[in-house]
Amino acid sequence: MSDLVRMHTAEHLLTATMRRLYGSPRNLEMHLGEAKTKCDYEIERPLGDDDARTIEAAVNAEIARDHRVSVMHITRAEAEARFDLWKVPPDAETIRVVSIGDVDATPCSGEHVARTGEIGRFVLRSHEMRSAAIVRIRFGLENPDTPWKPELTTAEDAETEGSVS
């Protein structure tokens, strides 16, 4: 599986996180790369370092849930009622929708991992305000060849995993 496939699926999780936490309906611009990716989002207030840590933790939590990634095809009429079709060609009659567990469903024609645990660790490398209402987020992935689980942080977490005797 290519790094671009992992990055693309991670971008879906980042966009879902930005929508859930900051009300950003979608990314405004994106450059997908094998080593790093950048996405721009419209937000209501500037993001600080605490926000960046929150975003990174939220994306990694969804990766660790090891969601199944699935594809369905729906009619354009159904898609128009449910999704922003800004990237979909206007003459497309059947729309391909990629779903990531209960976290995200988005019209998309790209390749994706089968499960989010295949992505690796999401690392938010930088964030900068491009204007008063646009933030650019750059991210990369670590451990792409090994399914990632977050480190256990408490004895209670370790017990849940069966790691404490």
Token couple for 45: 């207030």
pTM value is 0.84
Which pLDDT belongs to residue 145? 58
For residues 112 and 98, the answer to whether their CB atoms sit within 8 Å is yes
Q: Which one-letter amino acid corresponds to residue 64?
A: A
Q: Which residues are 17's β-sheet partners? A: none
Closest CA to 27 of 13, 42, 5: 42
pLDDT digits (tens, 9 = 90+) for 110-133: 999 999 999 999 999 999 999 999
Q: How are strands ordered across the β-sheet holding 37-42? A: 27-31, 37-42, 134-142, 121-129
Domains of the chain: 3-155 (3.30.980.10)
Q: Is the predicted pLDDT of residue 67 greater than 90, yes or no?
A: yes
Mean pLDDT for all residues in the chain? 87
